[in-house]
Amino acid sequence: MLTIKNLHAEVDGKKILKGINLEIKRGEMHAIMGPNGSGKSSLSSVLAGRENYTVTEGEVIFEGKNLLDLSPENRAREGIFLAFQYPVEIPGVSNLNFLKTALNEIRTYHGLAPIEAKEFLKLTKEKQQLVDFNANLMNRSLNEGFSGGEKKRNEVFQLAMLDPKLAILDETDSGLDIDALRIVAAGVNKLRSADKAFMVITHYQRLLDYIVPDFVHVLYDGRIVKTGNKELALELEEKGYDWLKEEVHQKESV
Amino acid sequence: MRNSNEIIDDIANKEYEFGFTTDIEMDIAPVGLNEDTIRFISAKKQEPEWLLEWRLKGFAAFKKMKFPNWQHFKMPELDLQKLSYYAAPKEKKKLNSLDEVDPELLATFDKLGISLKEQKVLAGVAVDVVFDSVSVATTYRAKLEELGIIFCSFGEAVKHHPELVKKYLGTVVPHSDNIFAALNAAVFSDGSFVYIPKGVRSPMELSTYFRINAENTGQFERTLIIADESAYVSYLEGCTAPKRDENQLHAAVVELVALDHGEIKYSTVQNWYPGDKDGNGGIFNFVTKRGICKGNSSKISWTQVETGSAITWKYPSVILQGDNSEGEFYSVAVTRNKQIADTGTKIYHLGKNTRSRIISKGISAGHSDNTYRGLVQVGPRAANARNYTQCDSLLIGDRCGAHTFPYIESRNSTATVEHEATTSKIGEDQIFYLNQRGIETEKAVALIVNGYAKEVLNQLPMEFAVEAQKLLSITLEGSVG
């Protein structure tokens, strides 16, 4: 589904990604871990097409298309969804109106007619129950005055509504208490399916107790320095990142 | 290959879709401003002597006045001697029904989306149409007459209801109020007149549609609306003009009078031609609008959506004379390219327990300049007066300006006056967030702007709120790039 080859990117002339290689297939759950400043969130920004990131080398193929040639909105319409670490507030635009607009833009791109009002409400209700999203937040302005937890839950709700092929969760667990974390994780687990892939970016192993990954990748200094299964996450939890950093530096000095 | 800047420029240039002209035989006054012009207009309209006298008093006041210099832009040089002060579609004979209106004129209004054929008119909206200087049609008149509601052109009101016109004309905006109001008093051509009798609620929205067509003319209409005791009316005006390279002057006057328990809701969707992207052409919109809550517990509410005009200079005001009376001002003003808006309101609290609410939303894009100017004055008798003002500015891009000039004068210690102001930019983060959900940038901006202006748009009658939303989206097309 997604193939990243030797991806290099920079922000304001500063090199952030220094040769990422990654292959994600349908149905897989990939966790990206790593210390602060290792490039985790940058990777999600580059994939989603954030403007201030410049790709200097490498390629990204998504479902047979060159992802880097597509505008951010077309990447979204092709099926890439980014659950933001810091969801923005848009005053005066209701959650429902926003979702309907987004859904219809995606449908139009795929040559489908706009969704019927009745069908939309049905879908909303269904997904809202699926991910346990508070109905009272539906008619409120998008994320305005939402608590940190409500914002993150809204990201998962949107993910359920827009039904992408690849969902990237950028530190969705940050700022959540343990109850909210469980609800968010339960929502994500319900959305897992054989034809959908996930890339979960997180600092902590804690989230991976609830969302069990097929692969764990450790990002350090703009590169994936180690790949393993969920045991790797536990090892990191126990030992921290320093041993990995040393390993990298030793290799470099040889 | 065309680059994206060219495409954006194209969008920016094509957006004024009402810029066509209508080829129609016109009756036009000789160019120039003097007593003869005023006598010409008065004679054309077969006016009574008292009205001519009033016009001449206005002209005398005008001659003594200077153009204002306190606004936040440089007043353009206006050569008022080069304008023609009266332009009317030539009437070959007296019209008995709409079927006899020039088909060319009917086609023009069809193009503008305003059908004059009553059966097709939006249910529940009566329309008076002013083409250049004269009112050409008023719909639904018979139905309104049954309730005693008078809704007609100003000229007709002078003929058929002179006592009402004489009683209220100039009582809210005197002939010597300001230079543009004085000019209007001298040369006003037509406009709308509304009288709602005691205890009657108008069953439909009343609406006037203004269209400037002729070249080198000014438009000086005058509207007078009276809500008698416990009467209610909701009134809406809309306006467009052809694209022309030279500037055209629009100096209107609107007077509202609400008696005991009377209520007037006045909404404007202003979309005069704003000029091109370099600031050539466009309408100079210098308008004086004022209402008086004369009676106890009366209410006047202004709602405006201002997207057009090269320069907008208007401060719809409310004088809260009656005890417990209430005034409101809701405004969205959008400027782009080189447009200038200096707009806001004045609220005078004179009576006891008077309340006012001001919500102003400025949106500036391109090289434009958008100013909110508001006065809240509380008089010594206005015990327990309350005002709440919220004044927000939204910036798109980094070459535009937003300014806020609030004036607060309170002479009563029991009054409460609140003022809140914010300035924000449409963030790249907001746009990227919407992009990431599949929404392209143009649509994202429209969504953000409509959300921002929602509190004001919600005040508009339903059909017009939808129009206004569309207008905001179209107006801002191409302003982010």
Residue B479, pLDDT > 90, answer no
Looking at beta carbons, which residues of chain B come within 8 Å of A101?
439, 443, 447
In sequence order, which residues have a C-beta less than 8 Å from that of residue A197 and are 6 or more positions away?
A1, A2, A24, A25, A26, A27, A28, A29, A30, A165, A166, A167
Residue B353, pLDDT > 70, answer yes
Residue B8, pLDDT > 50, answer no
Phi, psi of A98 (to 5 degrees): -60, -45
Chain A nearest-CA distance from B359, in A, is 14
> What's chain B's average pLDDT?
82
User: d(Cα B325, Cα B350) in Å, to the nearest integer?
Assistant: 10
Q: Across the interface, do B434 and A90 touch by the CB < 8 Å criterion?
A: yes
Q: Across the interface, do B438 and A76 touch by the CB < 8 Å criterion?
A: yes
Which of A86, A90, A103 best tests the B interface by mutation, with the highest count of B CBs <10 A?
A90
Structure tokens at B42: 């008065």
Q: Quick one: DSSP state of residue B397? A: S
* Predicted pLDDT of residue B208: 79
Contact B276, B13 (CB under 8 A): yes
* Predicted pLDDT of residue A123: 95
* Predicted pLDDT of residue B1: 35
| Torsion angle (degrees, nearest 10) of CA B289, B294, B295, B298 | 20
The gap from C-alpha A115 to its chain's centroid, in whole angstroms, comes to 26
Which of B436, B439, B451 is facing A141, going by the closest CB pair?
B451
Distances (CA, A) of B316 to B78, B292, B392: 23, 11, 18
Please name the amino acid found at residue B140: Y
> What's chain A's average pLDDT?
93
Q: Across the interface, do A93 and B450 touch by the CB < 8 Å criterion?
A: yes
Q: Quick one: DSSP state of residue B219? A: B
Nearest residue of chain B to residue A106 (CA atoms): B438
- When pLDDT is cut at 50, 70 and 90, the band that residue A153 belongs to is very high
Contact B308, B273 (CB under 8 A): yes
- Considering only residues B263 and B33, tell me which one the structure prediction assigns the higher pLDDT: B263
DSSP chain A: -EEEEEEEEEETTEEEEEEEEEEE-TT-EEEEE--TTSSHHHHHHHHHT-TTEEEEEEEEEETTEEGGGS-HHHHHHHTEEEE-SSPPPEEEEEHHHHHHHHHHHHHHHTTPPPPPHHHHHHHHHHHHHHTT--GGGSSSEETTT--HHHHHHHHHHHHHHH--SEEEEESTTTT--HHHHHHHHHHHHHH--TT-EEEEE-S-THHHHHS--SEEEEEETTEEEEEE-HHHHHHHHHH-SHHHHHHHHHHHH-
- When pLDDT is cut at 50, 70 and 90, the band that residue B211 belongs to is low
- When pLDDT is cut at 50, 70 and 90, the band that residue B295 belongs to is very high
User: d(Cα B265, Cα A164) in Å, to the nearest integer?
Assistant: 47
Which of A93, A140, A141 best tests the B interface by mutation, with the highest count of B CBs <10 A?
A93
Cβ-based neighbour number of residue A189 at 10 Å: 13
In sequence order, which residues have a C-beta less than 8 Å from that of residue A171 and are 6 or more positions away?
A40, A41, A85, A201, A202, A203
Structure tokens at B267: 């909404």
User: d(Cα B351, Cα B355) in Å, to the nearest integer?
Assistant: 10
Residue B125, pLDDT > 80, answer no
Chain A nearest-CA distance from B433, in A, is 7
- When pLDDT is cut at 50, 70 and 90, the band that residue B292 belongs to is very high
Please name the amino acid found at residue A164: P
Calculate mean pLDDT across residues A152-175: 94
* Predicted pLDDT of residue B314: 93
Residue A59, pLDDT > 90, answer yes
Calculate mean pLDDT across residues B431-460: 91
Helix/strand/coil for B58: helix
Condensed to tens digits (0 to 9), the pLDDT of residues B54-77 reads: 999 999 999 998 888 888 888 787
Q: Inter-axis angle of helices A178-191 and A148-162, to 10 degrees?
A: 0
Contact B458, B428 (CB under 8 A): no
B37 Rama class: left (phi>0) / alpha (psi -120 to 50) / beta: alpha
* Predicted pLDDT of residue B11: 36
Chain A residues contacting B via beta carbons under 8 Å: 48-51, 71-73, 75-77, 81-82, 84, 87-88, 90-93, 97-98, 101-103, 105-106, 109, 141-142, 158, 162
- Considering only residues A29 and B251, tell me which one the structure prediction assigns the higher pLDDT: A29
CA dihedral sign, ordered B46, B48, B49, B50? negative
User: d(Cα B289, Cα B292) in Å, to the nearest integer?
Assistant: 10
- When pLDDT is cut at 50, 70 and 90, the band that residue B291 belongs to is very high
* Predicted pLDDT of residue B13: 41
User: d(Cα B359, Cα B421) in Å, to the nearest integer?
Assistant: 10
| H or E segment and range at residue B447 | helix B441-452
Least confident of B119-123, B314-318, B319-323, B467-471: B119-123
* Predicted pLDDT of residue A241: 86
Least confident of B24-33, B256-265, B446-455: B24-33
- When pLDDT is cut at 50, 70 and 90, the band that residue B460 belongs to is confident
Chain A nearest-CA distance from B329, in A, is 19
Residue B120, pLDDT > 50, answer no
- Considering only residues A199 and A206, tell me which one the structure prediction assigns the higher pLDDT: A199
Domains and their CATH numbers in chain A: 2-253 (3.40.50.300)
Calculate mean pLDDT across residues A108-136: 93
Query: What's the N-to-C CA distance of chain B in angstroms?
Result: 18
Condensed to tens digits (0 to 9), the pLDDT of residues A33-45 reads: 998 889 999 999 9
User: d(Cα B19, Cα B143) in Å, to the nearest integer?
Assistant: 34
- Considering only residues B244 and B145, tell me which one the structure prediction assigns the higher pLDDT: B145
Nearest residue of chain A to residue B440 (CA atoms): A73
Calculate mean pLDDT across residues A150-178: 93
Condensed to tens digits (0 to 9), the pLDDT of residues B356-411 reads: 999 999 988 888 889 999 999 999 999 999 999 999 999 887 888 889 999 999 99
Residue with tokens 């100096």: B251
Condensed to tens digits (0 to 9), the pLDDT of residues A65-109 reads: 999 999 999 999 999 999 999 999 999 999 999 999 999 999 999
Distances (CA, A) of B290 to B207, B219, B221, B305, B361: 18, 19, 14, 17, 20
Of chain B, the percentage scoring pLDDT greater than 90 comes to 43
